[in-house]
Amino acid sequence: MLGPVLFERVPHRLLGRVNALGDSVAGAGVPPGGLIAAAAVASVGPVPVPLVAGAARFLTANLAGPRGEWSEMDRRCGSPAAVPPLEGMCGQKRSKGVAK
């Protein structure tokens, strides 16, 4: 879900850096996440932990949608927008990786 947002909002010349940073942060969360999950299962039990984690994931994904930031994605190229289009958006030509 975030991939298309990254390609739309991040300037072309920075895509590699932004994707690498996101991958690094996501990868850094794997070892502590496993330890936290193991501690939760050890203290509460194996049944409630996935139920609570699933409910948290469901609420996080579905409550973020109605927020106002996402309505900005519905704007059309050429229409007045609160935020001007970034490089490479709305059919702008690119030359050597930089938008004109």
Q: Are 98 and 87 in contact (CB under 8 A)?
A: yes
- Residue ranges of alpha helices (H) inside the chain are 2-9, 15-28, 30-44, 48-63
- Once rounded to an integer, what is the mean pLDDT over residues 17-29? 92
Give Cβ neighbours of residue 18 (< 8 Å, ≥ 6 apart): 6, 10
Q: Are 12 and 98 in contact (CB under 8 A)?
A: yes
For 28-68, write each residue's pLDDT tens digit.
Answer: 999 999 999 999 999 999 999 999 999 999 998 888 777 77
Assess whether pLDDT exceeds 70 at residue 1.
Answer: no
Give Cβ neighbours of residue 75 (< 8 Å, ≥ 6 apart): 81
pTM of the model: 0.54
The pLDDT confidence band at residue 4, using thresholds 50, 70 and 90, is confident
pLDDT at 7: 81
**Average pLDDT value over all residues in the chain:** 78
Query: Is residue 10 exposed (0-12), middle (13-18) or buried (19+ Cβ within 10 Å)?
Result: middle
- Once rounded to an integer, what is the mean pLDDT over residues 1-7? 75
pLDDT at 51: 96
- Once rounded to an integer, what is the mean pLDDT over residues 69-86? 58
